[in-house]
Structure formats: C-alpha cells, structure tokens
Structure 1
Amino acid sequence: MPFSRIPEAENAEGLLGDHGVSINTHKALRRLRRLVDSWPDGVLVCDFGSLCIYEWNSAARHLIDARGAAIKGSRLPQWFLSSDRRILQRRIRQELAEQGDTLRHNLTLHNDTPVEITLVPMRDTDATSLIVVLRDRRPYLDHLHKVKRKLAEAEEMISQDALTGLLNRFGFEQAIEEFMTEARHGTPFALMIADIDHFKDINDTHGHQWGDEALKVVASRLAEQLRDDDAVARYGGEEFCILMAIPDTRVVEIAERVRHAVSATPIGLADGSWLTLTISIGATYYQPALSAEAMFERADEALYEAKEYGRNRTVMLQPLPVTAADEEE
C-alpha cells in the first residue's frame, strides 16, 4: 500500500525534535508518511527473504509505471529488465546478505527507465526488511549528454583552424595518432606536407588580405580532393598536412592530382589580374618502425627536396631499409 495510506499508529503522546515539543505520535507518523510519499525518489519496502513488496510511495509507482494493486505482493526483481534482475538478485543474496551494508547500483527498470538503486537492510527482532530507493537517472544522463556535446564542440573549436576551417596543428596531432593506431592494425597510410610556393611574395606584393585568400583557396582545393576518412590540416603558416589511408603505389598520383587542382584555381585580384597559386608536396609512407614524429620529419625532408628542385612538384621519399627504419625507433 502507498505510504500515505498505511494504517496510522494508535494515539499516544511522544517527544519529537531538539526542542522537546510534545506532539501526538500518530500525527508525527502521518507527517512522516506524507514526507516519504512526496519524496521525489521512489521508495519501496520489501521482505528481505522473498523480496515481495508491501509498501511504496507515489514516486516509486510512477517510476515503475504500475498501479498499486499490481505492486502489492510483487517481487522486486520483476520490475527490472531481465538482464538486470540477475544482477540485482545476486548482489542482494551475496553482498548484501553477507556484508549487511548499504548497496548502490545503476540498473534499468522494465520500462527502460535508468535508475540508481540503493538497498538498505532494516533488521528487527523477528524480521528483516529491505528499503529500496529508486532515483531516476534520466535528468543526470541528459545533463551528461549535454556536457559531452559541449566538450565535443569545444574540442572541435580548439582543433580547428579559424581561417580555413581545416584542422589546426593540435587537430593534426590527434589525427595522426589515430592513423598510427589504425596502421598498427593493418591499415597503413600516407602523410603529405604541402606548402604554398612563394607565399611571402604574395603577402609582400598583394597584402595579407590576399595572402589569407590564398590560404582559403588552397584549403578548399585540398579538402575537395579528399575523402571523408582522410584528414587535412593547416599545420602552420602556409603549410598543410594530409593524411590518407591509401596504397603506397597511389601516393604520388593523388598528390599530383591535388597539386594540379590548386594550380588550376587562380585568384582574381582587385586590379583584374589573376594570381596563380602553386604548391610543393613532400610525401612519405607508413612503416611499422617509424613514429609519427619520424614520419613527419621524412615528409618534411621530401618537401624540402621538392622546393630545392624548383617547387610546384611532388617528391616522395623511398621506404627506409628495414635496418635503417629500426634505427628511427
């Protein structure tokens, strides 16, 4: 029966409170039952041995979504998902029966409501009852979901380059670690570093506004040439990094496609003239013995060679011999 409808105690006098105010005992019990019945957490009282419910409050009835007639005499485990019933019964039989302490666990009710359940044994001279407190976890989980979403948004903001919308250096470092992990499980990848040729001259001749425009155009061309699973970042200044899980035989082909896409997109200047952009690309390929830092150094070395050979070209370093690769570790 609900707490608010439990038969009241016989009329008697008693003391309640720090001030020793004399009040009627049955009125005190009635107030206590009203308090429990208005409590936002669900409260059930069961027989410890059979786990049959004989008292409950309104919140408990609402949480388990049942009428009082269905609750009375029912066994506590039946109001939980079948997978959680076994967990609940095992914890009561083993831990609670042996240790006698309060237990707390996260379970799911039969109607898919997630709850935190607190179990408190109450021993009397001739019987033991089990006080069960059910706290609805949905508000907490909703809040947790919002927090996680905000954290994801914040992480995206700190890993994104404000000018181009690509990953920034922080985002690139996270991405290459993910690619390294996948490579260790059998999905190797290429790392390309692209650098805008004569970028300082663009800034000096046309101003930083057009330099920024050049960065945005190159970023857009790079992103257009890549797949959803690839990653491209503005690593710093006029330097971009590309990560692609592709066969080693296709690295130069794809790098050249990217390079031609950039050179085919000149920028129209205010005076009616056109500014043709070109990039140099240095590439390397994953080898098990190479760290992410070693791969970056090799791609950067290839980029340096591309610029030394006249710019607007792709250079890919040949794989290291196994012994040399071992020394890179």
Structure 2
Amino acid sequence: MSARILVVDDLAPNRNLLDVKLSADYYDVLTAESGEEALEIASKERLDLILMDAIMPGGMDGFEACRRLKADPALYHIPVIMVTALEETADRIRGLEAGADDFITKPIDDFNLTARVRSLLRLKMTTDQLMSHTGHSAENCRPMLDQIQGRPGRLLLIGDEGGQPAKIDRTLGQTHETTIVTDPVEAIRRAKAGIDLVIVSLVARSFDGLRVCASLRFNNDTADIPILAIGDPDDQPCFIRAFDIGVNDSVMRPVESQELSARVNTLLRRKFYADSLRENFNEDLEMVVSDPLTGLGNRRFFERQVEPLFDTLNLDGTPFSILVFDIDHFKRVNDILGHDMGDQILKEVAARIVTNMRAIDIVSRYGGEEFMIAMPGTSEAEAFQAADRVRSFIAGTPIFVEGQALSITISAGVAQVEQNEQLRGVFRRADSALYQAKREGRNQVAAAASQTVAAA
C-alpha cells in the first residue's frame, strides 16, 4: 500500500500542483482546503504525512490546525510539513512552536519536496514499527516517544571554514553534544565512537564531502548513522549524488538556524526510535532463547545450538553426548520451602552446573527443574565422568538460601548420540537413564541404552 499524504491548502491550484507531483511518485494523495477539514480527514483516514499550508483564511489556519493535531493523542504522531512563504522566518518559528516536524518554503521545488517527504515518511515508518513491536497504540505510547525524542544527540560536524562549522556548532551546541572535525580520516574514526548524527559539508575546501559521505555509508561501523549534508543551492547535481550515496537529508546554504534544527531533530528522532526498536527486538530475542530465572539458554536455544553437532556427527563421525540433570525431590522442596526458595535453589544449581562444564558445552534449562547439556567431541564414558563430577559437587556442598544450609542432590542420565539419530530419540534415551538413576535411589548417574536396544 502506498504512503498516504494529506495536502492542505485553501487554493485549488496549489492543492492540484502538489497532488500531481506526489502522485507521480506513487503516493496516495488526499486533499483538504481548510484546517477544519484537515482535522476531520485525519480523524477518519489512515495518514502517513500531512503537508499543511501555514496561512489559510477562515476560521483555522495551518498553525492552529497543526497545534490541535499534535494535541490529539490519536494523531500527534503523524508528521507535519508546514508550507511557508520564503521570506517569513517568523512563520517557520510559529510552525515549529505549533509542533510541525519540518517546513518547505514557497515556491516549492521538486528536489526539496522529495527530500522532505521521504525523510519524514521514513520517520513515520520507524515510529509505526516501534509502536507495533512494543505493543503500544498511538494513544498510550506518547510518554515513550516523548522520552526518546527529548534526548540530546551526539553530533559530529565534518567541515572546514568553507562550511562554517562554527556557526552550525553555535546553533546546535546549546541542545546537543557537538564535535567539529576537519580531517576526514579522523572524522571516520570519531564516527565509530557512539555518534548519533553526522553533518557533512559538501563545500569544504580541504576535502571531498561526497567521498566522506560514501566512506561513512559503506563502512559497517557507521552504515546506520544518519547523515545530513550541507551545500550550495545552485549545486543540485551534488545533492542528487549525495542522496544516491545514502545521505539522509540536506540543508542548503545560507543555513537558517530553525531549518537546521528541524532537520537535525527529525533525523535524531528516527535514529533514537530505530535504536529503541532494535533494543526491544534484542530483548525479545533474548527472552525467546533464554531462561529468565537462571540466565541459561532455554529449550529453543538448546535445540538450535545442537543442530550443527548432529550434522558434524553424520558427516565425519565426530562424537557428542547429551546429559540430562534433574533436581531430586524438587516438588517437595517447593511444597515445604515455597516457590521463592525453590527459585533460589534452581539458580544456584544452574550456576554450579555451568561452572563445572567446559566453555564449549551447551548448557540449558530444558524445563522445570530439568537441565540438559550437550558435550561436543565427548564419548559416553567421558560424559558420564563429567556428569558424576557435577553430581558429586552439588551433593557435597550445601546450598545457602536465606541463611539456611540445604542439602540438594541431583540425578543424571547420559547418552552418546548415534549417527542418524534425532534429538527426540537421544533425549528419550537420556531421560530414561535419568529415571533409572532415580529409581535406583537418586543422587547418581546412569548411562543410556543404545539406540537399538532402546528401540527394542
């Protein structure tokens, strides 16, 4: 589905012109001729961006419409580009105060329109992804987005005096942490050290700004850092090449402070939203493959990690073994001491198992009080010895929980994986050996029968 853009202007020729330009880029365009109509459409339709004329006669101009839109919990996240007259700096300030995300000056040129629209549509897409991934709706995610949006950024300004970095620093340094670098090699090194946004001068006299942009974009350590390019308005081919390289946005000289701040804030919001999305994804991924109580891998983690061991065994015969540990009488422990004490015991047993296994062994909490370990390159006899060492260590050292010294024992089953055997089959054999150990008195290790014997 195409991005949906609402064009708001009281003059039909202006609406029609923007409709034609945006439709040519395959956007789905809606139009409104007043602020009131814009708010009504926004409340009923799914919108990705609004282009709002600042000055409209009648009851509600663009500033008031933007202000009301940004005050609505269901609509505030829709980016707004305010369209202002070229000479009216005061209108830009009013637009930013009303909550506009960016602005375009009249007469509107195609290049600027395309750059602004693409930048804010990317921001909207990232915002939507963040809300969707975290389970937030537009109505309840505002505190989260406001907290992210309010963060100051770490900006790297790359330019010599030809690009007036000192002036840019004065504009942005009051809000953000800024660093000026004139040497391109040093700039690339600095960009790898936790920078949120890079501003590159395309008019620098001592280096090629486009080459710096290309180096940043095609270096793995800096590929995701947003880049804002600053250049001359009459050098449109340079800007086109910059966007082809992967620059995210641009500002033309002479740099106007409100415009620069708006561009920087949009790029930082998108960067911080994307970072938050990535962090949430990584946390969710960790939850998917790890046990939150013990910190060990969980059942899914274990099954993924042992797949290559089966492949290697079937390919060249490299052995590996599976160990299944189970805490003896754990239900009784929970019933007598309570689940909180039971959790502490589980954590301590898990820690002792990990510290007594090799770094290459795959250790997981497979469920409840059961732990499963895969030992690469290990025969059944060697695995049996390792399991008995762990069993002996846990049985011989009390576990202290809330001042109480508790004697905890574990039982274990051991099975060497055989060629062409599936995980389900080897687990069944190891689990049978575990229950044999329990039947014979617990606090001991038993070896599994071979696959052939088990099948019989």
> Does the pair score TM above 0.5?
yes
Which residue identity lines up with residue 313 of structure 1 in the other structure?
A: Q
Identity of aligned residues (%): 28
Q: How many Å apart are 1:192 and its aligned residue?
A: 1.1
Q: How many Å apart are 1:279 and its aligned residue?
A: 0.7
CA distance in 1, matches of 2:16, 2:117: 29
Aligned residues: 244
CA gap of 1:243–1:19, structure 2 versus 1, over 3 A, is closer
Q: Corresponding residue for 1:154? A: 284
Q: How many Å apart are 1:114 and its aligned residue?
A: 7.0
Which residue identity lines up with residue 202 of structure 2 in the other structure?
A: A
Equivalent residues in 2 for 1:133-282, closer than 5 Å: 134=243, 135-136=246-247, 144=274, 146-167=276-297, 171-185=298-312, 188-248=319-379, 249-268=381-400, 274-282=405-413
CA distance in 2, matches of 1:200, 1:178: 29
Deviation per CA, 1:187-217: give whole Å up to 9, x if none. 6432211111122333344444443333232
Match of 1:31 among 82, 107, 112: 107
Q: Corresponding residue for 2:426? A: 295
CA gap of 1:269–1:80, structure 2 versus 1, over 3 A, is closer
Q: How many Å apart are 1:145 and its aligned residue?
A: 5.2
CA gap of 1:78–1:236, structure 2 versus 1, over 3 A, is closer
Q: What SS class does the counterpart of residue 363 from structure 2 fall into? A: strand
CA gap of 1:178–1:205, structure 2 versus 1, over 3 A, is closer
Which residue identity lines up with residue 230 of structure 1 in the other structure?
A: D
Which residue identity lines up with residue 177 of structure 1 in the other structure?
A: R
CA gap of 1:298–1:131, structure 2 versus 1, over 3 A, is same
Which residue identity lines up with residue 262 of structure 1 in the other structure?
A: I
Higher strand share: 1
Q: What SS class does the counterpart of residue 438 from structure 2 fall into? A: helix
- Maintained 8 Å contact 2:305/2:362: no
* TM-score for the superposition, normalised by structure 2: 0.42
Q: Which runs of 5+ in 2 are unaligned?
A: 1-12, 18-86, 88-104, 119-197, 227-238, 249-266
Q: How many Å apart are 1:185 and its aligned residue?
A: 3.2
CA gap of 1:144–1:290, structure 2 versus 1, over 3 A, is farther
Which residue identity lines up with residue 292 of structure 1 in the other structure?
A: L
Higher helix share: 2
CA distance in 2, matches of 1:68, 1:19: 40
Q: What is the RMSD computed on CA atoms of the aligned residues?
A: 4.9
Q: Corresponding residue for 1:66? A: 202
Deviation per CA, 1:100-122: give whole Å up to 9, x if none. xxxxxxx749xx76799xxxxxx
CA distance in 2, matches of 1:68, 1:32: 27
CA gap of 1:136–1:78, structure 2 versus 1, over 3 A, is closer
- Maintained 8 Å contact 2:321/2:414: yes
CA gap of 1:268–1:153, structure 2 versus 1, over 3 A, is closer
Q: How many Å apart are 1:147 and its aligned residue?
A: 2.7
CA distance in 2, matches of 1:194, 1:164: 15
- Maintained 8 Å contact 2:213/2:242: no
CA gap of 1:147–1:238, structure 2 versus 1, over 3 A, is same
- Maintained 8 Å contact 1:176/1:243: no
Q: Corresponding residue for 1:316? A: 447
- Maintained 8 Å contact 1:282/1:303: yes
Q: What SS class does the counterpart of residue 358 from structure 2 fall into? A: coil
Which residue identity lines up with residue 212 of structure 1 in the other structure?
A: D
Which residue identity lines up with residue 432 of structure 2 in the other structure?
A: E
Deviation per CA, 1:156-193: give whole Å up to 9, x if none. 234433433333xxx22332232122431356432211
**Larger relative CO (CA 8 A, sep 6+): 1 or 2?**
1
Q: How many Å apart are 1:234 and its aligned residue?
A: 2.6
Which residue identity lines up with residue 174 of structure 1 in the other structure?
A: F
